[in-house]
Amino acid sequence: MQLRYHYRVYPDAAQREALARSFGCARVVFNDGLRLRQRARENGEKYVSDAELSRRLITEAKLTPQRAWLGEVSSVVLQQALADLNVAYRNLFNSVTGKRKGRKVAPPRFRSRKDNRQAIRFTKNSRFTVLGNGRLRLPKIGDLHVRWSRSLPSEASSVTVIRDAAGRYLASFVVQTNQDETLPPVDPEIGIDLGLTHFAVMSDGAKVTAPKFLRRAARKLKRLQQDLSRKQRGSQNRKKAVVKVARAHARVADTRRDWQHKLSTAIIRDNQAVYVEDLCVVGLGRTRLAKSVHDAGWASFRAMLEYKAARYGRTFARVDRFFPSTRMCSACGRINDKMALAVRAWDCPCGAAHDRDINAAKNIKAAGQADFNDRGAQVRPGLVPAPRGEAVTHPNPACSTRSVEGISVL
């Protein structure tokens, strides 16, 4: 399994300048490649191949006065920028032809130096190394100070350096784990009903109150947004205010992610099988409850359960989103009429009294177990994609030390 480990890095002034130069060169090569392919399509010419792009936009471009400064950064960074463009086109073609499931993918867009997120990637070919003193050595950038928090399980196959909207620098390592991390088997199996008042209601009756991190930070965010709106456009004070707003939002996101990691790890550790309803988060995000739905972060929590189950040898399954878990009686199986959200408890004609959420969790567990028995094998998840711009890696790992604040699976 491929895992991604994130660490904070703290470049000095010269290293920040070198990183900004690398960000800019990668952005220019990406935009040049996109522009070249768009013009070829408009003129009815043949699709420009990957090798042709690399030759014209990197090898030959470095020999011209207009692009001679591309030689100031690692060539691997430029090659990976074109690799990102190729992935974007591949996703577009697969979406158009129906090979890629889900929503339609839009054509790749031009990158801007004003984008909130800037990233460059180094693979094994660049010979990046982690030194004995814990610093990360990157070609033509230098030795970066890294805040290590845990050991990497194996050598890294690539590292992505990211500058986010809050001005923080992160190093994201991709590693391959081959060791057996299966947890000892346990008896409990659990169904989980996700909600807004209670973030998760378990089939055993346990309820986890929704922390509502965004709602709790709303007053501070409102004040920072008001301060930002009063600043003159283009001024230095406005740039500082933008960073303050971004840091406040990053703090909310980091707190939510940390809390979800802890909860998902505890659930996977204590249960042999986990069954969750496959909610349509995109659709719910268009309703009047949109802010609360996005604040809950159901999709990221479900993804954590999914990859941790695969990593630690647990069973994970999604129950169909159209399954009437709320309206079905978990005692007799009778399906009632639709009920309003205000109805939190109801009685079945069979005599059973139900808490709305606990009853739904019990039905989700029963439906997941039935699907598991029909298949006759464990329901294992597919690969969880890496964030945009970080998906291209080499298969074999190479680089070791310690690891970080968050883990995500590719």
pLDDT tens sequence across 126-149: 999 999 999 999 999 999 999 998
The DSSP 8-state label assigned to residue 182 in this structure reads P
Q: Which residues pair with 120 in a beta bridge?
A: 161
C-alpha 280/C-alpha 199 separation (Å) is 16
Q: If you average pLDDT over residues 343-364, what whole number do you get?
A: 90
Q: Which helix (H) or strand (E) holds 97?
A: helix 75-97
Q: Given pLDDT bands bounded at 50, 70 and 90, which one contains residue 351?
A: confident
> Which residue type, as a one-letter code, is found at position 170?
L
Between strands 402-403 and 353-355, the pairing is unpaired
Residue 33 and residue 111 in contact, taking contact as beta carbons nearer than 8 Å: no
Residue 85 and residue 108 in contact, taking contact as beta carbons nearer than 8 Å: yes
C-alpha R_g of the chain: 25
Q: What average pLDDT does the chain have?
A: 88
Q: Given pLDDT bands bounded at 50, 70 and 90, which one contains residue 388?
A: very low
Q: Given pLDDT bands bounded at 50, 70 and 90, which one contains residue 372?
A: low
Query: What token pair was written down for 382?
Result: 């597919």
C-alpha 360/C-alpha 346 separation (Å) is 12
Return the closest-CA partner of residue 319 out of 361, 268, 376, 282: 361
pLDDT of residue 374: 59
- Count the Cβ atoms, other than its own, within 10 Å of residue 311: 17
What torsion do the CA atoms of 261, 266, 267, 273 make, to the nearest 10 degrees? 110
C-alpha 312/C-alpha 327 separation (Å) is 33
The distance in angstroms from the start CA to the end CA of the chain is 8
- Catalytic positions: 193, 277, 357
Domain boundaries, the chain: 2-179+387-409, 189-212+258-375
Higher pLDDT: 404 or 3? It is 3
Query: What token pair was written down for 208?
Result: 């986890």
Whether the predicted pLDDT of 371 surpasses 80: no
Query: What token pair was written down for 366?
Result: 């029963």
Reported as a single tens digit per residue, the pLDDT across 267-297 is 999 999 999 988 888 888 888 989 999 999 9
CATH node for 189-212+258-375: 3.30.420
The DSSP 8-state label assigned to residue 328 in this structure reads B
Query: What token pair was written down for 50?
Result: 């990957």
Residue 223 in 3-state DSSP?
helix
Return the closest-CA partner of residue 182 out of 311, 20, 290, 82: 311
Q: Where is average pLDDT lowest: 107-116, 177-186, 302-311?
A: 177-186
pLDDT of residue 386: 45
Whether the predicted pLDDT of 379 surpasses 50: no
